[in-house]
Amino acid sequence: MDFEYIEGGVTAALGFKASGIHCGIRKNRDKKDLALLASDRPATAAAIYTKNLVIGAPCTVTKQHLENNTARAVICNSGIANTCAADGIEKANRMCELTASALGISADDVLVASTGVIGPSIDMTPIEKGMPSLVAGLSAGGHTDAAQAIMTTDTVKKEFALQFTLGGKTCTMGGMAKGSGMIAPNMATMLCFITTDAAIDGAMLKSALAEVADDTFNMVSVDGDTSTNDMTVILANGAAGNPIIDTKNEDYQTFTAALYRLCEKFCRALAADGEGATKLLECRVSGGATKRDARLVAKSVINSSLLKAAMFGADANWGRVLCAIGYSGAAVNVQGVRVEFSSAAGRVHVCENGAGIEFSEDSAKKVLSQNEIVIDITLQDGDAFAKAWGCNLTYDYVRINGDYRS
Amino acid sequence: MDFEYIEGGVTAALGFKASGIHCGIRKNRDKKDLALLASDRPATAAAIYTKNLVIGAPCTVTKQHLENNTARAVICNSGIANTCAADGIEKANRMCELTASALGISADDVLVASTGVIGPSIDMTPIEKGMPSLVAGLSAGGHTDAAQAIMTTDTVKKEFALQFTLGGKTCTMGGMAKGSGMIAPNMATMLCFITTDAAIDGAMLKSALAEVADDTFNMVSVDGDTSTNDMTVILANGAAGNPIIDTKNEDYQTFTAALYRLCEKFCRALAADGEGATKLLECRVSGGATKRDARLVAKSVINSSLLKAAMFGADANWGRVLCAIGYSGAAVNVQGVRVEFSSAAGRVHVCENGAGIEFSEDSAKKVLSQNEIVIDITLQDGDAFAKAWGCNLTYDYVRINGDYRS
């Protein structure tokens, strides 16, 4: 598939506008806390949600509003997660109503998301007061304000966009995400909002999102804590004028491939900006017996606190990789495992057939001192492949999470 | 059951001797690195091992030597795990042979354990050279030297003993353990060696150990990394002269209860001495639908990096408890969850029916500033109970594990 990354974010696709303001949910006036995204026409929409049993009220309300697979707008606040609060559903519905009324659309066509501390009830007053200026600010140039408004402990905004061709028409897909822990700090919930002007029906959009999410969002871990508010939403408004995708044809494959490219970008950005993180880790597993086994191995390695701490120390402690493979739950012939570390500084082969081999500690130190590290695991069990993304464990992770609420 | 904790450790029971020396596996001469434990008569023995697919060679050899449920001695080194080394089995067997020959017993009656870095081949020279003085040092007073010799990143030795009565005879049970991460840092493997002079047959001993381990060792977590070398061994030499336990009678219940008391002591000590830890966390779950659900909830909470970091900061962030309950995999009615934190400084009730309630942040801070914290979770799903032990996540965990090998 041909595609090209372009500048921009959630408004890169035709017909989408966004804005972001500080309305007062957060005390810090310099931190925007309310974002709005709107399509100028009805859009097909799909979402995936956290699998946590304790589920945020906004996820529940969004799920209801997506029963008809269509939406026009997304309202999202940061600061408070609106989860485990007795009035959560009522407040999430109220956020949709306020937005719908300001935009002149139906509340059913508004999706809602929240991220922040679990527990507190969310005050509607700042949202009510801020709504007029939020709506007035909607523009194609508002994507950056929106991307900033959904951030919590993130240190950088996360926006990407790309273009591809369907039935001779140029289609654009873009998005914004937040999450500085993922799969997921319950205060730094992972949220991702994607828009596209491609025409695709609800069933195909759902299917593409689920397929891609299994290989992208579900393969990222900052700390193994699955959030209560995780949500990825995609809106497709058809403004590009391509023949609508309503079956798993070649256009569907192109669309899914484009979605994968975009989501992979977000995953790398989310992991690299993991709380306290200074290094992005990518674990690639090949030769797995099944896709499931390869995924289990990749995620187990990326999740190991010990390996994450070793990467912090640029320590080629490959025994921790073997250990994490061993307890992953995957069916693996441990006598067939090869492990290599690589980065911009080179590649070092540390384990073959499940046992250590001689390697230069100096070279290993150089390789592991870079800020993007790849851990290549080659199994001899089949031909399945999987990739997962994570980050190192640092003092700052402990500092950030030692007193998040204050 | 009546029982009494007494001074001593792995040699508290009649007929057991121990010793510990620095033989040279470690460079630091001030750190003992080789321990020996011996019974003056054949003992019934049982063990449980790590469930990691990557399993240390000493575990494999010990398992073979326990096929007949009897043993006379245990040899254990620290510094190198003897895992993922091509010559691991050969070296583990050699350690048994050296010990057997020095003691004049069969190598089949020697159990072997190792803890330390995964990967390197273990050099037999210091073990061969040290064996005469190790054997010469065997005494009832040698328990502390042995307990010190098995330590890695542990900051305190872990020895406990207790007495109870079976058939009118006083029986003693004692042990030593190491593990500063558990379930488990692959370099700070959990090892526990227990001895008793009670008479019990192999099948009953195995059953008692498995039963107790599910509620004790399998409920401790420092960092969620299941080690490759975890092992708990129990030797019962019958020197107390009680009627042999060969069925699940009242004596079996007494024996199992005593074993539980001893293992619980070890678990609390292991968690409190978790790498970098400054606080012991105990999570008690009551009202679970099943024992399995209660255990899943307790372990999930104890394992949450976010909760562990919050405890470091004495932050009553109960939302993280709810979040960890939600992703635990247990069947839980989240609308029925109550959460309370308590310690020597008092008790604070923070969540009722799955939602936050008003509480004094000042009192909470005081409660959570103690070094032993209890997290009480009350469910409304049944009457199952479980307890798990863990520790807080601190800067020192990252420091210790950032460069363990050097």
Chain A residues 119-178 with CB within 8 Å of chain B: 119-120
Q: Would the pLDDT of B241 be above 90? A: yes
What is the pLDDT at residue A146? 96
Q: Would the pLDDT of B405 be above 60? A: no
Q: Give the H or E element holding residue B268.
A: helix B250-272
Identify the closest residue of chain A to B308 by CA–CA distance: A402
Q: How confident is the model at residue B86 (pLDDT cuts 50, 70, 90)?
A: confident
Q: Do A306 and B55 touch (CB under 8 A)?
A: no
Cβ atoms B370, A283 nearer than 8 A:
no
A48-78 pLDDT, tens digit per residue, is 887 777 788 999 999 999 999 999 999 999 9
The 8-class DSSP code of residue A139 comes to B
Question: Quick check: B399 contacting A, CB < 8 Å?
Answer: yes
Asked if B33 and B163 sit in the same domain, the reply is yes
Give B126 to chain A, closest Cα distance, Å: 22
A252, A272, A292 - which closes a domain: A272
Asked if B111 and B175 sit in the same domain, the reply is yes
CA distance linking residue B405 with residue B302, whole number of Å: 27
% of chain B at pLDDT higher than 90: 65
Q: Would the pLDDT of A119 be above 80? A: yes
Could you identify the residue written with the tokens 């010559």? B87
Residue B121 included in any domain? yes
Q: Give the H or E element holding residue A72.
A: strand A70-80
What is the pLDDT at residue A195? 93
The 8-class DSSP code of residue A336 comes to G
Chain B residues 367-396 with CB within 8 Å of chain A: 393-395
Identify the closest residue of chain A to B358 by CA–CA distance: A120
Give A219 to chain B, closest Cα distance, Å: 16
Q: Do A326 and B223 touch (CB under 8 A)?
A: no
Three-state secondary structure call for residue A155: coil
Residue B275 included in any domain? no
Q: Phi, psi at residue B70, to the nearest 5°? A: -135, 155
Residue B9 included in any domain? yes
Q: Would the pLDDT of A404 be above 70? A: no
Largest CA distance in chain A: 68
What is the pLDDT at residue B225? 65
Number of domains in chain A: 2
Asked if B205 and B103 sit in the same domain, the reply is yes
Could you identify the residue written with the tokens 């606190």? A305
B270, B288, B309 - which closes a domain: B270
Chain A residues 217-246 with CB within 8 Å of chain B: 223-228
Average pLDDT, integer, range B195-211 = 93
A213, A247, A272 - which closes a domain: A272
**CATH code of residue A208:** 3.60.70.12
What is the pLDDT at residue B186? 36
Asked if A248 and A307 sit in the same domain, the reply is no
Asked if A288 and A390 sit in the same domain, the reply is yes
Question: Quick check: B56 contacting A, CB < 8 Å?
Answer: no
Average pLDDT, integer, range A195-209 = 94
Asked if B301 and B260 sit in the same domain, the reply is no
Average pLDDT, integer, range B268-279 = 83
Q: How confident is the model at residue B185 (pLDDT cuts 50, 70, 90)?
A: very low
Q: Do B322 and A185 touch (CB under 8 A)?
A: no
Asked if B196 and B307 sit in the same domain, the reply is no
Average pLDDT, integer, range A230-258 = 92
Average pLDDT, integer, range A249-269 = 91
Half-sphere exposure of B291 (CA within 13 A, CB side): 4
Q: Would the pLDDT of B276 be above 90? A: no
The 8-class DSSP code of residue B404 comes to -
With contacts defined as CB-CB under 8 Å, which chain A residues touch B405? 315, 317
B351-367 pLDDT, tens digit per residue, is 999 988 999 999 999 99
Q: Which residues of A are known catalytic residues?
A: 189
Q: Would the pLDDT of A231 be above 70? A: yes
Which range among B96-110, B185-199, B285-299 shows the weakest confidence by mean pLDDT? B185-199
**CATH code of residue B290:** 3.10.20.340
Q: Select the more confidently predicted residue: B228 or B114.
A: B114
With contacts defined as CB-CB under 8 Å, which chain A residues touch B52? 323, 326-327
Identify the closest residue of chain A to B320 by CA–CA distance: A186
Question: Quick check: A326 contacting B, CB < 8 Å?
Answer: yes
Q: Do A401 and B319 touch (CB under 8 A)?
A: no
Question: Quick check: A203 contacting B, CB < 8 Å?
Answer: no
Q: What mean pLDDT value characterizes chain A?
A: 89
Q: How confident is the model at residue B107 (pLDDT cuts 50, 70, 90)?
A: very high
Asked if B169 and B87 sit in the same domain, the reply is yes
Asked if B128 and B15 sit in the same domain, the reply is yes
Asked if B86 and B176 sit in the same domain, the reply is yes
Q: Do B402 and A81 touch (CB under 8 A)?
A: no
Q: Select the more confidently predicted residue: A243 or B222.
A: A243
Which range among A2-16, A50-64, A134-148, A326-340 shows the weakest confidence by mean pLDDT? A50-64
Q: Would the pLDDT of A406 be above 50? A: no
Asked if B259 and B297 sit in the same domain, the reply is no
B283-338 pLDDT, tens digit per residue, is 999 999 999 999 999 999 998 888 898 899 899 989 889 888 988 889 999 899 99
A357-398 pLDDT, tens digit per residue, is 999 999 999 999 999 999 999 999 999 999 999 888 888 877
Q: Do A401 and B326 touch (CB under 8 A)?
A: no
**Alpha carbon distance, N-terminus to C-terminus of chain A:** 48
With contacts defined as CB-CB under 8 Å, which chain A residues touch B304? 225
What is the pLDDT at residue A182? 40
Half-sphere exposure of A333 (CA within 13 A, CB side): 13
Domain that holds residue B356: 280-402
With contacts defined as CB-CB under 8 Å, which chain B residues touch A120? 356
CA distance linking residue A327 with residue A16, whole number of Å: 46
Asked if B226 and B260 sit in the same domain, the reply is yes
Average pLDDT, integer, range A336-356 = 94
